[in-house]
Amino acid sequence: MSKRIKIFDTTLRDGEQTPGVNLNIQEKLEIARQLEKLGVDVIEAGFAIASPGDFEAVKAVAEKLKDTTVASLCRAIEKDIDRAWEAVKNAVSPRIHTFIATSDIHMQHKLKMSEDEVLERAVAMVKYAKKYCSDIEFSAEDAGRSRPAFLYKIFDAVIAAGATCLNVPDTVGYTTPEEFGGLIKGVMNHVKDIDKVDVSVHCHNDLGMAVANTLVALESGATQIECTINGLGERAGNAAMEEVVMALETRRNYYRFEHGIQTTQIYRTSKLVSSLTGVPVQPNKAVVGANAFAHESGIHQHGVLNEKSTYEIMTPESIGLSHNKMVLGKLSGRHAFEDRLKEMGYTLNRESIQKAFEKFKELADKKKVVLDDDIQALVEERVSQIPETYQLISFQTNSGNKLIATAMVELKREEDTLTEAATGDGPIDAAFNAIERAVGIGLMLENYTIRAVTGGKDALGEVTVKVSNDGEIFMGRGFSTDIIEASIKAYINAINRLMIQKQKPSS
């Protein structure tokens, strides 16, 4: 009989720690709802003590989800645990996830604590968390570089204290599959009552072995895997959920593990996370990359046309991709548009559908054909909408290879109209300078990314910018068939996010 494993998703916590990623509550909720639709068992919604915003996001996710366990990470400190419980207590299935480092290098240089002190703190904090809820996960940070004998000792103690899940993280992506598999086997063989708890693994990808380490951990006895969509996370990221799950699916004859993931939701989840975080998926990324099911070689094309399995070990349909696209244009009506949204898996209220349809009609006037990716971009633009302190009314640019680029922008703030002009190194730089003059805020452009949502010279363009102000990073996104307009919208979107941050009361 196949063994059922649990999928623990930490996209909203470790994934958001990807440099430059900063999701608002609405974006986190949208990702959480999609993760629930995907079928994950546990969603780690954030680090509640980290900031008021993180607390509110964890709380919102805990209150809105209907079936999934919601966890908050917390250090092995009473105030952290208190805050975590306040955030997750209204979840249908709350979990407190507490951690402390167990490697010599962390205990000596970061914690400045002895083994006995770390053991005492771990036990006391698991007991403290247990007074709030029954589901307590304990993580031994940097377990991959910890002495096995100490790991066994601390795991014995926290199980006796009430932990229901033990996490063995390769925090810095240091171990090899053989080493990590041996570590998990050691835990399974030497920890008392290990059969009464879940054994989890959380592998980082610093040496590119996170997925391999995760899979070997399952073979060695682990019952829960911690991962992120698209492999997001600190430094080189985490084990990518879609890669682990599709390895289990594609090699069922080898792994023989069951899980609750609805694999046909994988592609949509990947696209949603990429869009809302502003982190693109590399074209040759396994499973969800743009080239994952693309064949250019004549030999490959010939083989696939005769029998797909010659070069495709999994089908595009298995992750939610389809080669059959419904073509929509400016003559399409609302009914056809709604049907297409449903086919793509969106469940929107009447107001959101109407707004998306209006955007669709505007785009259809500019493009001959509106493709699925265009529609997805329009819907996700609505999802990530935030209160607009500043709105774009109009803009004009003038540039040439022998001209100084100039731009004029007209913005609206409440009842006021702000008009400014500026020069710059090209029309986009000039427009950004004009916007800054209009709003009276100086920004540093940290990153500018442009991509075509679809192919063709009339493609819908997506611009993502990351700007800094007083040491904080703000991301903005904009869509348009006019790339200058998309750039302006993205810059204004980033400024609106900055304004929301400035309007928050200081804690």
Is residue 348 exposed (0-12), middle (13-18) or buried (19+ Cβ within 10 Å)?
middle
For 216-225, write each residue's pLDDT tens digit: 999 999 999 9
- Name the percent of the chain lying above pLDDT 90: 73
Whether 49 shows a pLDDT value over 60: the answer reads yes
Mean pLDDT of the chain: 91
| Confidence class for position 259, pLDDT limits 50, 70, 90 | very high
Task: Write down the pLDDT at residue 20.
Answer: 85
SS (H, E, C) 104-168: HHHHHHHHCCCHHHHHHHHHHHHHHHHCCCCCEEEEEECHHHCCHHHHHHHHHHHHHHCCCEEEE
- Token pair 């265009």 is at which residue? 374
Task: Write down the pLDDT at residue 296.
Answer: 47
| Confidence class for position 215, pLDDT limits 50, 70, 90 | very high
Mean pLDDT of 101-114: 97
Task: Write down the pLDDT at residue 55.
Answer: 97
Mean pLDDT of 194-205: 98
Question: Measured in whole angstroms, how far is the alpha carbon of residue 48 from the centre of its chain?
Answer: 17
- Token pair 């708890």 is at which residue? 197
Q: Specify the range with the lowest mean pLDDT, choosing from 304-318, 410-424, 470-484.
A: 304-318
Q: Which CATH architecture has domain 391-503?
A: 2-Layer Sandwich (3.30)
Whether 466 shows a pLDDT value over 80: the answer reads yes
Of 150, 141, 53, which Cα lies nearest the Cα of 97?
A: 141
Whether 72 shows a pLDDT value over 90: the answer reads yes
Mean pLDDT of 105-111: 97
| β-sheet bridge partners, residue 420 | 409
Whether 29 shows a pLDDT value over 80: the answer reads yes
Whether 294 shows a pLDDT value over 80: the answer reads no
What is the dotted CATH code of the domain comprising 3-277? 3.20.20.70
Task: Write down the pLDDT at residue 365.
Answer: 81
What are the angstrom distances between the C-alpha of 216 and each of 161, 165, 201, 234, 497? 29, 19, 10, 22, 42
Whether 323 shows a pLDDT value over 60: the answer reads no
**Domain coordinates in residue numbering, the chain:** 3-277, 293-324, 391-503
Q: Which stretch, 335-339, 355-359, 443-447, 459-463, has highest mean pLDDT? A: 443-447
Q: With beta carbons less than 8 A apart as the criterion, state whether 458 and 487 touch.
A: no
Mean pLDDT of 372-389: 75
Whether 172 shows a pLDDT value over 50: the answer reads yes
For 325, the 3-state DSSP assignment is: coil
Query: Cα separation of 376 and 381, whole Å?
Result: 8
Whether 327 shows a pLDDT value over 50: the answer reads no
Joined together, the tokens standing for residue 328 give 């929509």
Mean pLDDT of 315-333: 69
For 273, the 3-state DSSP assignment is: helix
Question: Helix 115-130 vs helix 148-161: angle between axes, to the nearest 10 degrees?
Answer: 30
Mean pLDDT of 297-324: 73
Phi and psi dihedrals of 487, rounded to 5? -65, -45
Contacts of 414 (CB under 8 A, 6+ apart): none
Whether 505 shows a pLDDT value over 90: the answer reads no
Of 220, 238, 90, which Cα lies nearest the Cα of 173?
A: 238
Q: What is the CA radius of gyration of the chain?
A: 25
Mean pLDDT of 73-87: 98
Mean pLDDT of 429-439: 97
For 418-431, write each residue's pLDDT tens digit: 999 999 999 999 99
Task: Write down the pLDDT at residue 325.
Answer: 37
Whether 436 shows a pLDDT value over 80: the answer reads yes
Task: Write down the pLDDT at residue 369.
Answer: 66
Mean pLDDT of 291-307: 64
Whether 353 shows a pLDDT value over 60: the answer reads yes
